[in-house]
Every structure is written in C-alpha cells, then in structure tokens.
Amino acid sequence: MLEISVETVEAALAAQRGGAHRIELCESLAVGGLTPSNELMRLAREQLHLPIFAMIRPRDGDFLYSDSEFAQMQRAIQIAKEAAMNGVVLGVLNAGRQVDVVRTQELVNFASPLPVTFHRAFDQTPDLHAALQAVLKTGATRLLTAGGKSTAPEGAGIIKELITIARNRLVVMPGRGIHGGNVASLFAETGAREFHAGLSGVVPRPGNDLPLFEREVRKLADQLKSLP
C-alpha cells in the first residue's frame, strides 16, 4: 500500500497515474501539512478514484491545541465527511509532548466511521514505546512514523519494534525520506506493509514538474509491486 501526500489536485492526479493507492491531502506541505480547504477536498474527490485521507491540522508548530483550535479541528473533520473523504490524519499532544489520549480519542470518535491516522506528532514524544500504547488507546487505526528520526530509513530499527508490538491492532506506516531507491530495503528491515511518501527529497516542487513527480511515484509503486 502506497500513500502519497500532495497539496494540489494536479499532484494528486499525477500520483494516481503513477500507481499510488491512497492520497493524503494537505495544504502547506512545506510546514508538514495543514488542513486542506473545503474546495480542495471537494475538487479532489470529484476527480480522483483513489481513497483520500484529509489532514486535520489547523496551524503549523506544536501539536498542543487551544480549545478554539480543537473546535476548529472538529469542524474540519465534519467538512471532510461532507466532502466524502475516506479518512482523516491528525495528532494531539499535551504540554509534556505525550499523546493526549482523551482529546485524540474524542476526535477519533467524532470522525467515526472514518478511520484515523495518527501522524508524525508521534515522533516528537519522549518515549515512542509509551506513545504507541497511548495511540492504541485512542482508537486510531494507523500510525505514521519515522521512528523518531529524521527519515524512516534512519528509524527502521525502531519502526520494526513498533510494528512487532502493535501486531494486528494498528497499522504502523513508515513515512519521511522514502523513495523508489530505498523502499525495498526499508521493507526488508521493518516488515511494513504500508508506506507513506511525499518525495520532496527527489522532487522538491512537484507542482513545477508533475511529469517527474509521476515518474518518481511510479518508481516507488513498481518497487512495492516487486516485494513478496
């Protein structure tokens, strides 16, 4: 399973042509991704046949949200539902940079029946093993992580541990720094079955070179097809 993060419909269509299996739809990928607009969600849904997961993140910076920001996240989830998104991506931490189980669980329940991916806010927690247990309590169905490192290949050993601990209770999906040249070795090291990529390391500005972006997605998708 290959999930590609994009911030435009044009890039999403290129990813679809390249063989992506799912789209993570965001705005402002340069800051890690923010909530896409209602218009962007609806346009993407009209033109894509792939599942689309919408980022729910009201601002950049930390993942400790005020009451008004939390209410904004709830409204964004409702908009995502109305726009026929297939899932949402979010993460809430507390003042100690630990997973805020209560607030995240509230958002997971609010998003139901849409599945929820807990995003790389996870990698900012001080104890990833404790954070994994917390994410499991929230009811999220998927965890995006680089194993607490700058890239998923660097965190491969930790990602493997997280996958082993999570077993069938949660999909642990490596993300960050993944491309066609390293995904096979990352699979061999971790045993992961889903992978997330934005390909910014090989295509810094997809909007300026959509053919190249499509080719890089295809390279990644082709590598995944060859895996056992």
pLDDT at 87: 98
Domain that holds residue 117: 2-225
Helix (H) or strand (E) holding 219: helix 210-225
Burial of 146-161, coded b for 16+ CB within 10 Å and e otherwise, reads: bbbbebbbebbebbbb
The single-letter DSSP state of residue 36 is P
Q: What is the pLDDT of residue 177?
A: 95
CATH code assigned at 138: 3.20.20.380
What integer pLDDT is reported at residue 205 of this predicted model?
82
Q: Which pLDDT score is estimated for 162?
A: 98
Residue 99 DSSP label: B
- Please give the pLDDT value at position 112: 97
Q: What pLDDT is stored for residue 204 in this prediction?
A: 81
CB 1 within 8 A of CB 21: yes
| pLDDT score of 138 | 97
Tokens for 94, please give them: 């507390």
At 98 the pLDDT is 97
Q: Strands, E, within 56-100: which ranges?
A: 87-90
- pLDDT averaged over consecutive 10-residue blocks of the chain (228 residues)? 96 97 95 95 97 97 96 98 98 96 97 96 96 97 97 97 95 96 96 95 84 96 92
Number of domains in the chain: 1
**Residue 35: CB partners within 8 Å, gap ≥ 6?**
26, 27, 54, 55, 56, 57, 58, 73, 76
